[in-house]
Amino acid sequence: MSEDNGHENSAGGPVEKVADIASGIGEYIRQQRNNAKISLRQLAKLAGVSNPYLSQIERGVRKPSAEILQQIAKGLRISAEALYVQAGILDLPNGGPVTDAIRADAELTERQKQVLLDVYESFRRENAAAGGDRGQATVIAKE
C-alpha cells in the first residue's frame, strides 16, 4: 500500500501543487478584499468578472489567469505583482516581509508603493555595500 501511496503522490504532485496555489491565491484575494472592506459582488463588478467566478477563485476551485489576476488587483487597488507571486506566476521578490507589507497596503497607491520599495531597496544596497561597518556607525550614532 505504501508503494501505491508513493505512486499517487508522484503522479498527483503537480495537480496537488496547482490546487494548493489556487487555494492560496483565493485565500489571499479574500483577505485583501476583507481588508479593503468590499463585498464579493463589489469586487466582481470592479474587476469585471462574474460573481460566481470570483467566488470559485476565492474558494480555490479555480485558478485565475494572469489577466484575471490583473483585473482583480485593479479592483482591490493592490499590486498585480503581489497577486502573481501568490499565484506562483512570479518568484517572490527580494526583501521579505517589509516589501510584502508595502505591496499589500491597500491605502497606498501603486506609485507610492513603488517609491517606498525603491527607497527601501536603495537602503538595503547601501547597507550591503557598507558590509560590517553598519554596526560601528550605529554605535557611533548612539554616542
Global confidence as pTM: 0.55
**Choice among 3-17, 63-77, 101-115 with the minimum mean pLDDT:** 3-17
Please report, in angstroms and rounded to a whole number, the separation of the first and last CA atoms in the chain.
68
Same domain, 40 and 67: yes
> The domain containing residue 108 runs over which residues?
97-132
Domain count for the chain, please give it. Answer: 2
Query: Residue 141: its pLDDT value, please?
Result: 47
Same domain, 80 and 123: no
Same domain, 81 and 102: no
In a domain, 92, yes or no: no
Give the CATH number for residue 56: 1.10.260.40
Cα–Cα distance for residue pair 36/76, rounded to 1 Å: 7
Query: Residue 138: its pLDDT value, please?
Result: 45
> Is 57 within 8 Å of 115 (Cβ atoms)?
no
Same domain, 68 and 123: no
Q: Which grid cell is 60?
A: 480555490
Same domain, 43 and 80: yes
Query: Tens digits of per-residue pLDDT, 94-112?
Result: 667 888 788 788 888 878 8
Q: Which grid cell is 56?
A: 470559485
Cα–Cα distance for residue pair 16/143, rounded to 1 Å: 56
Query: Tens digits of per-residue pLDDT, 18-32?
Result: 556 567 889 989 998
